[in-house]
Amino acid sequence: MQGQDTGARLVDVAESELVTRRGRFRAVAFRDEVDGHEHLALVHGDLGPGTDVLVRVHSECLTGDVFGAVRCECGAQLASSLDAVVTEGAGVLVYLRGHEGRGIGLVAKVRTHVLQDDQGLDTVDSATALGLPVDVRDFGPAARVLRHLGVSSVRLLTNSAAKVDALTAHGVAVTARVPLLEPVDEHNVRYLTAKRDRLGHDLPHLDRVLP
C-alpha cells in the first residue's frame, strides 16, 4: 500500500471550533481525494511539534457509535478515545467514514449480524460466507489529514497491530501503541474473542476471562 497515496491530498477542508460533552475540539472536516468520502478529525489542545501525538483513528460504526449497540465495542472505544485525548491535554481523533463493517458497508454489515445470530458465525466467517472481504479499509485518508495537521509521529490508541502497520505503510510513524481495552460482557464477548483469535488484536483483559 506504500506509495499509493503519494501526492494525494485533501480536496476540500473546513474547520470550526466544536464543543462537545467530552471536551473542546477543533473540527477539521475534509474530503479525501482518493476515497472520495467526507471524514472528520477532532483536534484537542496544542499539538506542539507534532511528534508522539496521542491519536485515535476510528472506523465508522453507525450502530455502535451513534446508537450505542453493544455487540461490538466501537462506541465505547470512541468515547474512551475522546476522553483519553482530553485527559492528555492534546491529541487527535480521526473519524473515518466508509469503514462500516471493516469496509463492506452498512447493509452488508447488518447482513453479517444475521449470520452471527442465527448460525453462530463470527465476524470473519459471516463476511466470507457472504462472499465479502474481511477488511478493505483504506487508512490513507487518516495519514493525509495527520500530515495536514502537522503530525509526523503518533502514539496510536488501538489494540490492532494491523492498524499500526496500515498507518506505517501510509507514512505515519507510530512510536507507541496505546491499548484501548473496554470491559468484556455477555454482549461483546463473541466479537472480542473473534477480534483476538481471528484478527490478531491484543486483548489481555479478555485472556484473563477466556484464555
Active site residues: 135, 137
Query: Identity (one letter) of the amino acid at 25?
Result: F
Closer residue to Zn ion, CB minimum distance, 64 or 140: 64
Closer residue to Zn ion, CB minimum distance, 106 or 161: 106
Closer residue to Zn ion, CB minimum distance, 61 or 167: 61
Please report how close the Cβ of residue 64 comes to Zn ion at its closest, in angstroms.
3
Applying CB under 5 A, the residues found at the interface with Zn ion are 61, 64, 72, 74
Please report how close the Cβ of residue 121 comes to Zn ion at its closest, in angstroms.
16
Q: Which residues contact 73 (CB under 8 A, 6 or more apart)?
A: 64, 182, 188, 191, 192
> Is 72 within 8 Å of 50 (Cβ atoms)?
no
Please report how close the Cβ of residue 11 comes to Zn ion at its closest, in angstroms.
28
Closer residue to Zn ion, CB minimum distance, 9 or 187: 187
3-state secondary structure of 57: strand
Q: Which strands form 153-157's sheet, in the order they lie side by side?
A: 10-20, 23-32, 38-44, 91-96, 53-59, 153-157, 173-178
Please report how close the Cβ of residue 134 comes to Zn ion at its closest, in angstroms.
15
Query: Phi, psi at residue 172, to the nearest 5°?
Result: -95, 125
CA proximity to 94, closest of 142, 26, 61, 33: 142
